[in-house]
Amino acid sequence: MSTLPFPHRTKPSSTAVNFVAPAVVVKVGKPATTFFVNGDLLCSTSDYFKTALKQEWREGKRRVVELPDDDADSFNTYLNWLHSKTVVLGYDDGDFYELIDVYALGDKLLDSDFKDAVTDAMIVSFNDNKGGNVLPGSYNRTRLYDKTAESSTARRLIVHRLARTNNVSLIEGGDCHAFLMDVAIEAISKGPEKTNDAAARCAFHEHAPGAENCYRNKYA
Ligand SMILES: [Zn+2]
C-alpha cells in the first residue's frame, strides 16, 4: 500500500459548520462595532449565544445580539478563536492586559474551551524571549480580580505563579485584599510543582477530567 504524501486532514461531517446558516448581527461596545457572524459558528461552543439565539427569545427572532459592555478587539479575538481555535490577540505585542479582557469575555460567553486556551496564552505571556519571566504587575492583578469570579482559573493561575516567585517585592501596594489573601494561602499550602508543570496537566483548565476533553486535543 502506498503512503499518501500529505497528512490525513478530513473530519466527520458532524463537526462541520453549516455556512448556509443565516448571519447573526453582533453589536459590541459603545459606540457599537457591528459584526456579521455565521449563526452556527457563533453557537458552536458558546452557551451564551446558544441561549440568546433561541427562537423564543427576542434576540433569537431578530438575529441581533448586543454586547455594549464589551470591547470590539476582544470580540474579534473570540471570532478568530471560533475560526482557527487559536488565540490571536489584537496587537502583535499583546500582553496580560489584553488577555484579561479576552478571558472576561469568554466567561460571559460561557465558552470554557476558549477560557482554557486563554489561560494557556497567559502562561506564554509570562515568558519573555530571553528565557526570563514577565509577571503582571499590581495594576493588572487588580484588573483581573475586578473582572473575574472568585473561582476563576485565571485567578488560580496568577496566584499559583506569584506564590512561587520567592520575591516579596512583587507584592506591591496597589494589590487588592482578595489577591493578597489568595497568595498568602497558596504560599502556605503550596507543593513543589512548578506553574508550567501544573499547566501541562490542565490545572488551570475548566474541562471535565480526561485529555480527550481538553481543547488541545479536541481541536488538534
Ligand atoms: Zn486541558
> Looking at the structure, do residues 161 and 60 belong to the same domain, yes or no?
no
Query: Rounded to the nearest whole angstrom, what is the distance from the C-alpha of residue 218 to the centroid of ligand 1?
Result: 10
> Looking at the structure, do residues 65 and 120 belong to the same domain, yes or no?
no
First and final CA of the chain: distance in angstroms?
A: 27
> Is the Cβ–Cβ distance between 72 and 30 less than 8 Å?
no
Query: Rounded to the nearest whole angstrom, what is the distance from the C-alpha of residue 46 to the centroid of ligand 1?
Result: 17
Q: Is residue 97 part of a domain?
A: yes
> Looking at the structure, do residues 166 and 120 belong to the same domain, yes or no?
yes
Full domain range(s) for residue 171: 74-218
Query: Rounded to the nearest whole angstrom, what is the distance from the C-alpha of residue 44 to the centroid of ligand 1?
Result: 19
Q: pLDDT tens across 43-64, in order?
A: 988 999 999 888 767 776 788 9
Query: Rounded to the nearest whole angstrom, what is the distance from the C-alpha of residue 16 to the centroid of ligand 1?
Result: 23
Give the residue from 81, 49, 54 showing the smallest Cα distance to 67: 49
Q: pLDDT tens across 127-172, in order?
A: 766 666 778 888 999 999 999 999 999 999 999 998 988 765 666 6
Q: pLDDT tens across 61-85, in order?
A: 788 999 999 999 999 999 999 999 9
Q: pLDDT tens across 22-40, in order?
A: 789 999 999 999 999 999 8
> Is the Cβ–Cβ distance between 35 and 75 less than 8 Å?
yes
> Looking at the structure, do residues 33 and 92 belong to the same domain, yes or no?
no
> Looking at the structure, do residues 140 and 117 belong to the same domain, yes or no?
yes
Q: Is pLDDT larger for residue 7 or for residue 88? A: 88
> Looking at the structure, do residues 65 and 83 belong to the same domain, yes or no?
no
**Cα 126–chain centre separation:** 15
- Tally of domains in the chain: 2
> Looking at the structure, do residues 53 and 139 belong to the same domain, yes or no?
no
Query: Rounded to the nearest whole angstrom, what is the distance from the C-alpha of residue 197 to the centroid of ligand 1?
Result: 12
